């Protein structure tokens, strides 16, 4: 092949699928934190997303917990205010070290997830039943009861 002729990129398929979001019965479930990520802008603010594997009977469902956080101008996570949900995660689920906190310590942590249903749009209008899905409303440390509640 001539070094000056580049191969054309693969054709992009016009097919795509909607992401399946599970809908399970609302309640308390055992969960293991799988990963965390920061979405820089979602509904106007940065969000922390904690993705959990939630056990219902013999099935595992991947559900997410969302909370607001603040980023510095250079995109570093700032320590949260005491009334924020992010502060509750930090204080209840993360061990404190002299070097601060690391969200990576959440990965693999077993906890209790309080699961609810996302049944409203971002404009607070009712979603059709076929568009509803489960989300984590609270995260609790195991054996901590309501005192460890991380409300959403």
Q: What is the pLDDT of residues 127-143, one digit of tens each?
A: 999 999 999 998 988 86
Residues 140, 86: Cα–Cα separation, whole Å? 13
Show the tokens assigned to 110. Answer: 């077993």
Show the tokens assigned to 147. Answer: 């005192």
Please count the other Cβ atoms lying within 10 Å of the Cβ belonging to residue 53. Answer: 17
CATH number of 27-151: 2.40.50
pLDDT tens digit string along 24-68? 999 999 999 999 999 987 667 899 999 999 999 899 999 999 999
Q: What pLDDT, on the 0 to 100 scale, is given for residue 2? A: 54
Please give the C-alpha separations between residue 145 and each of 3, 77, 121, 140, in angstroms, as whole numbers: 67, 28, 30, 7
Closest to 46 measured CA to CA, from 66, 30, 68:
68
Tell me the backbone φ, ψ of residue 37, rounded to 5 degrees.
Answer: -155, 160
pLDDT tens digit string along 67-76? 999 888 888 8
**DSSP at 85:** H
Tell me the backbone φ, ψ of residue 130, rounded to 5 degrees.
Answer: -70, -5
Please give the C-alpha separations between residue 101 and each of 91, 92, 105, 110, 122, in angstroms, as whole numbers: 10, 12, 8, 18, 32
């Amino acid at each position: 092949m001539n070094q000056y002729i580049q191969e054309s990129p693969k054709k992009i398929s016009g097919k795509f699928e909607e992401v399946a979001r599970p809908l399970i019965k609302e309640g308390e479930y055992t969960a293991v934190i799988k990963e965390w990520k920061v979405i820089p802008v979602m509904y106007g603010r940065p969000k922390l997303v904690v993705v959990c594997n939630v056990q219902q009977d013999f099935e595992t469902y991947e559900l997410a917990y969302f909370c607001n956080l603040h980023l510095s101008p250079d995109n570093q996570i700032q320590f949260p205010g005491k009334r924020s949900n992010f502060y509750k995660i930090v204080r209840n689920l993360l061990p404190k070290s002299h070097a601060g906190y690391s969200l990576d310590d959440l990965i693999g942590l077993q906890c209790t997830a309080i699961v609810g249903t996302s049944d409203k749009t971002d404009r607070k209008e009712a979603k059709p039943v076929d568009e509803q899905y489960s989300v984590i409303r609270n995260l609790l440390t195991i054996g901590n009861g309501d005192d460890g509640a991380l409300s959403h």
